């Protein structure tokens, strides 16, 4: 989303130049892993996370982990994600649950997701990679399966793996449930990654209704030691939009 004024591989240098220490994006799979690794090393950046393969994005897929007819595809693609993560020294992989197929009942959908998450965490158990489950709002992705903190935590509990954690996107959760500081505080031990954008618009913090001064202060004063990712759409030029950090 950020630095999209330039091609993907040129964004690493811009991120480093503007004092970012880590980088995240949806998918690395269109690029040879060596090219990405070179960009990380050249610019002294950490690869913080990326997503598991999520189907055919251009055709509307937003994850396939809930679709029983695609269990084989999900499991086959996991190896590619692990290969990239280990090569890039990336410690987090995000699973987008996806949109259930209309012919699938809710019980089968949930069972499929849990089975896939168990498969993934079992395959990650001998690595130092943590799998993240992210709830997403239904305004941006109509029909997405995992949509609230409580639902995500219920699924995480059902999977029962120590290396499955919650990815908490403040923008998505403001839309779906609000009560940001309270929810974060009550569930901090499960949260392994934060993402930020303002609402409405999914633009820079300070452009919408979320009191990021208070929310980020709360996170900073908590026991959380992980990353906060800027997953927002710049209103204009990315660099001009970074002024919110000074405030």
- Indicate which residues carry an active-site annotation: 134, 231
Sheet holding 130-133, edge to edge: 22-24, 46-51, 92-95, 130-133, 164-169, 191-196, 228-230
Would you tell me how many other CB atoms lie within 10 Å of the CB of residue 100? 20
Two structure tokens written together for 144 = 């997405």
Estimate the crossing angle of helix 149-159 against helix 180-187, to 10 degrees. 10
Q: How far apart are CA 85 and CA 92, in angstroms?
A: 8
Closest CA to 54 of 70, 42, 35, 36: 70
| CA 52 – CA 80 distance, rounded (Å) | 9
Tokens representing residue 247 in the block: 């405030």
d(CA 166, CA 23) in angstroms, rounded, equals 19
In 3D, which of 174, 182, 104 has the Cα closest to residue 145? 104
Nearest CA among 15, 71, 69 for reference residue 47: 15
């Amino acid at each position: 989303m950020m630095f999209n004024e330039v091609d993907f591989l040129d964004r690493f240098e811009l991120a480093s130049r503007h004092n970012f220490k880590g980088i995240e994006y949806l998918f690395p799979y269109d690029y040879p892993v060596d090219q990405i690794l070179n960009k990380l090393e050249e610019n002294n950046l950490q690869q913080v996370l990326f997503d598991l393969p999520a189907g055919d994005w251009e055709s509307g897929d937003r994850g396939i982990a809930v679709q029983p007819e695609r269990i084989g595809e999900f499991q086959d693609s996991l190896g590619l994600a692990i290969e990239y993560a280990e090569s890039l020294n990336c410690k987090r992989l995000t699973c987008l649950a996806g949109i259930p197929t209309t012919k699938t009942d809710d019980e089968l959908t949930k069972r499929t997701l849990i089975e896939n998450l168990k498969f993934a965490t079992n395959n990650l158990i001998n690595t130092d990679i943590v799998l993240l489950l992210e709830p997403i709002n239904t305004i941006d992705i109509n029909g997405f399966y995992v949509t609230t903190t409580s639902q995500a935590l219920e699924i995480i509990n059902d999977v029962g793996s120590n290396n499955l954690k919650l990815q908490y996107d403040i923008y998505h959760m403001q839309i779906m449930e609000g009560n940001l500081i309270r929810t974060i505080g009550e569930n901090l031990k499960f949260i392994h990654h934060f993402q930020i954008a303002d609402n409405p618009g999914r633009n820079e913090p300070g452009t919408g209704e979320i009191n990021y001064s208070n929310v980020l202060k709360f996170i900073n004063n908590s026991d959380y030691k992980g990353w906060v990712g800027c997953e927002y759409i710049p209103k204009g030029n990315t660099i001009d939009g970074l002024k919110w950090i000074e405030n």
